[in-house]
Structure 1
Amino acid sequence: MLFHPAIPIFRCFDERLARDFYLGFLGFVETFAFRQDRDGPLCLGVQLGKCRLHLSEFFGDASPGGSIRIEMDDVHGFCAAVLAKDDPHARPEVQRQPWGMDDMTMSDPFGNRLIFCTDIPDGAG
């Protein structure tokens, strides 16, 4: 039996804010958008590298305030790319953690926390 990475569901309340943050600011790409009817709530699939998320306006899919760790090869490079977008509402920085990772933590407009992280190379401080 082969398992694939879990796909977290984050609650969102505003399609424009979700698209601006995840697609525009962070650089995720849309993989699908689903509504049961034209004016119904949205479930939006997004992906950045191998990280996939579902952003849902559907009541009961998730509670706001979730948290996820997203492992990546170069959190410092990603942080520099995000900072280059010069968004006055998001000025993240990388923090070295005592458990051997560099973390960049951000919250989306709905209170969900994303922690982008990279292993500290052996021998690095």
Structure 2
Amino acid sequence: MDIEKTIPVLRIFDYPKAVEFYVQWLGFTIEWEHRFEPGMPVYMEITKGNLTLHLSEHHGDASPGANVFLWCTGLKAFHKELAGKNYKYNRPGLDETFYGSWCVTVNDPFHNKISFNEKKTDHKD
């Protein structure tokens, strides 16, 4: 067996808040959405580069409070982009970690946490 891709499923409770956080602030793109009928909970796929997440309003799909850890590159530029948007509910720092990386941690409105990490290089940052 070969694993092709991992897609975390995160629980959400409010579609407009999810769009504000993930699309408008973090810069994800909505790939598709599904509702069994109007007024029913949404299940959606969002992407940003090589990262794919599924967001679900369905009760049994996931528990709030998940923690997603990601390795990435270009973190300082991403942090600067986020800071420039002045999102009033989240102002993450660019932190040095004990495991030799830079880290930007964001908390969504549903208590899920995403930690974007980039390994430090030997040259001066």
Question: TM above 0.5, one fold?
Answer: yes
Gaps of 5+ in 1: none
Aligned to 1:117: 117
Q: Which amino acid aligns with 2:25?
A: F
Aligned to 2:15: 15
1:40 paired with 2:45, answer no
Aligned to 1:77: 77
Q: Which amino acid aligns with 1:56?
A: S
1:25-104 aligned within 5 A: 25-104=25-104
Q: Which amino acid aligns with 1:59?
A: H
Q: Which amino acid aligns with 1:3?
A: I
Give TM-score scaled by structure 2 length.
Answer: 0.94
Q: Distance in 2 between matches of 1:66 and 1:118?
A: 20
Give 1:123 shift. Answer: 5.0
Deviations 1:15-71 (A, max 9, x none): 000011000000000111001111110001100110000000011100000010122
Give TM-score scaled by structure 1 length.
Answer: 0.94
Q: Distance in 2 between matches of 1:113 and 1:92?
A: 11
Moved more, 56-65 or 69-78: 69-78
Deviations 1:65-96 (A, max 9, x none): 00101221111110000000012221111111
Q: Return structure 1 stretches of 4+ with deviation > 3 angstroms.
A: none
Aligned to 2:6: 6
Give 1:124 shift. Answer: 5.0
Query: RMSD value over aligned CA atoms?
Result: 1.3
Gaps of 5+ in 2: none
Q: Distance in 1 between matches of 2:41 and 2:88?
A: 29
Q: Distance in 1 between matches of 2:21 and 2:48?
A: 13
Identity of aligned residues (%): 30
SS at match of 1:68: strand
